[in-house]
Structure 1
């Protein structure tokens, strides 16, 4: 007859679960930090805090591909607001109105960032989702497994997650509405 296994102690099982929560939380937090860095970089250009402010005027646009693989590239010139930068050979991988100046930020030699309320709204929505992911990581660590009583910290983390996700949806919706009216 096989020997009976001893039941694991609750303390050892809880410690293993807690270690697993820490590992998962670390991975989720790292993803959130990378997302935060990505969003913050884009947001800095969209708010005109980084790069060279100016306008891009498309001379012509060309579509390539079909279906999901399709895309539009517009070629034109960029002029900085202060008149120091005038580059007649830039392109952007997005459809913009031809011969109409569009506010942009120039980053590095050939990288353009669109500015405006709709792009800011999209970046803020993404930023709020990143905050929700970070709050989820904190909730993973602070929530002891298999416990029925909810602590104050867990309630706050849950409220931050819910608020961030709802805020993200509202800001993204506002971006769609602004984009449709522009």
Structure 2
């Protein structure tokens, strides 16, 4: 009796698959049979990716200073890995702030984000270096999503701050 097994995972079979993907395997075997052609069986193994991608972010710069109301280019480094997908899709979901764009004491300038293409793999945009004079400092929260071919998603955020004051080194 000859048994062959094949498995496919879009992007390649994960190694090892233990605790990383669920494997369904249905088999039916019979034999030996006097007719050799009847002694072959094939088994289909389906690897079901249920693990979302890993996603890490870092911002450069992560602190905007001085708070002079000017736009500063910000670059986000994004790293994503997945069990089955070698290239998960990355999307910029949102950029929010703990202060309103024209918060009292912030210079009354708006908008505070420029050049961001939401819903795309945009990793460079500009943030305004300002904060409310009466607040504790502005915090921009930049959120990304990674999605693999199986539809598993991970969301992570990174922050960029405009501090109330700059500490002495």
TM over 0.5: no
Larger radius of gyration: 2
Q: Which has the higher strand share?
A: 2
Q: Which has the higher helix share?
A: 1
